[in-house]
Chains A and B, each alone.
Chain A
Amino acid sequence: MNLLSIYGATAQGLTWTIFALGVFITFRILNYADLTCEGSFALGGSISSVFVVSLKLNPILSLFVALLSGLAAGAITGLLHTKLKIPSILSGILTMFGLYSINLRIMGQPNTSLVGNKSLIFMIKDILPTADELGIKDFTLQTGVVLVVGLIFSLVAIAFLYWFFGTEIGSCIRATGNNDTMVRAQGVNTDMIKIAGLSFSNGLIALAGALVTQTQGYADIGMGQGVIVIGLASIVIGEVLFLKAKNFAVMMLAIMCGSVVYRIIIAIILSWGLDTNDMKLFTAIVVALALSIPTLLKNKSLFVRKEV
């Protein structure tokens, strides 16, 4: 275990923060386990890679288009659930499933490498002095760029979400996740609110997919597989780190920390020699345990006082 791998893990965690925030919107705010994210994450990645590799367009533009595509993907899940009354999890799975074909169509192949093309990171590195001039290793410089880009995107997203969820519409989304009957009784079309929330979440997730693609230098059709668990792990770790967080901004900063800590934990465990193929099982077990803590605690208290 060395400092360099922690440095790399931190940078990676920051580029994944927006993804975790997207999952947070559906899972914690809207109270909706949305599996669309696995498809929309890869959708953002596919679009971003094709923009840079085949179309030779500006990678920053690709982030915007990815965002828009994610908004559309989330809206489809929302429509399936609210208008066609398909159960919430199934709506997400259907969109995710369909997106697999769409993503393959977009890329035309299962994966796309950005090597030799103008990715976001290389564009920024072009402006900066070279690693040699700075007297550091190229890896250090590149990771540094990723880290700063990730941090800026995360902080801007947090600031934006803090504002958005404080507005009238944002308040309605939060309340709908709590109690949609009450929100309808207050004259709000909760179907539209759910569609907006899902759309918004998946827009962020697709943006994250594009950002991750730009920073890791490739997009893969399977890049979205199981990512919801990584998002949940980041949220849960963040919540454990900041147990007393009540302020919404602090809760989101906690998720950013959770995303970074998750990557550091993975880096440490890998350095102990755990097979990378076992990583998903490990993450699944950790998340399952973390999510069951409230229930386990409740059962314990039931055993303690058996009155009533």
Chain B
Amino acid sequence: MLKFNGVYKTFNHNTVNEKRVINDLSLHLQRGDFVTVIGGNGAGKSTLLNLIAGVYPPDSGSILLEGEAITHLPEYKRAKYLGRVFQDPMMGTAANMEIQENLALAYRRGKRRGLRWGITNKEKQNYIEKLTNLGLGLETRMTSKVGLLSGGQRQALTLLMATLQQPKLLLLDEHTAALDPGTAERVLELTQQIVSANNLTTLMVTHNMKQAIQYGNRLVMMYEGKIIFDVSGVEKSDLKVADLLKKFEIVSNGSFANDRMILS
């Protein structure tokens, strides 16, 4: 359903800082795939997600979503198809607005917005149900400002917002990296729960090898803007952290120890 064909992306063209972040990358996703993307710093994981989301266009190559070329579609237009959760818990929500107002904004993703009232009573009932499912007690704080919530609560809310209108593709950009281990675990469980319940096609970037192995039906490892390892099915479920480390060691000539990869 997602076809990423021969994409190149270079930052800081013609300067000393020139860096080819995505180098002839191709990736095809099937509907219902839950793909985890792993790789070191600068491997191009976040760039891959940003290219899909349309934060910037690729230098060359094409991106297709269910047959539609979205390569040069502006970010706000393709947002209709995509649910996004960011690494920074502050990025996915509007801090000075109420929980219910944030949800109402997300509920209208991909729809025409006009001069109708920004939130209806009927919706509120729906939001209370959805918030109750999160199990964080947010359903009693519908009119609280989001800025008062913890990072984990904000990520859970962002996750809910990203899936309030069923996206064709859910993009998770290290969405638990900024959380403490316990909260990260909880948010990942919620992620799994929401993804399974809605049968969402998901692309999850992570630094954590254990997470990458534990979640999803397919694992992709990136190095210097290319996919160097791609496993799915039984092969993936039999994978161990040690196997990944070995793989990574081979391609990076043993320099992986300098990386901020989480080995636990």
| Partner-B contacts on A (CB < 8 A) | 164, 166-172, 174-175, 177-179, 181-190
Contacts and interface: CB of A to CB of B under 8 A. Distances in A.
Interface of B: 53, 74-77, 79-80, 82, 84, 86, 90-97, 101-102, 104-106, 108-111, 113-119, 161-162
A193 B133 CA distance: 33
Contact of A168 (B86, B96, B110, B113): B113
Residue of A175, A189, A190 most packed against chain B (CB within 10 A)? A175
Residue of A172, A178, A186 most packed against chain B (CB within 10 A)? A186
Nearest to B101: A171
Given A169-B114, A182-B91, A189 B74 contact: yes
B118 A168 contact: yes
A186 B95 contact: no
B109 A187 contact: yes
A124 to B, nearest CB: 32
Contacts of A182: 91-94, 105
Residue of A177, A179, A185 most packed against chain B (CB within 10 A)? A185
Given A167-B117, A181-B91, A186 B109 contact: yes
Contacts of A183: 94, 105
Given A167-B115, A175-B102, A187-B79, 9 more contacts: A167-B118, A168-B108, A169-B115, A171-B97, A171-B101, A171-B105, A181-B91, A184-B79, A187-B80
A286 B84 CA distance: 43
Contacts of A187: 76-77, 79-80, 108-111
Nearest to A192: B76
Contacts of B96: 174, 177-178
A175 B115 contact: no
A172 B111 CA distance: 13
A172 B95 contact: no
B118 A171 contact: yes
A179 B161 CA distance: 15
B105 A172 contact: yes
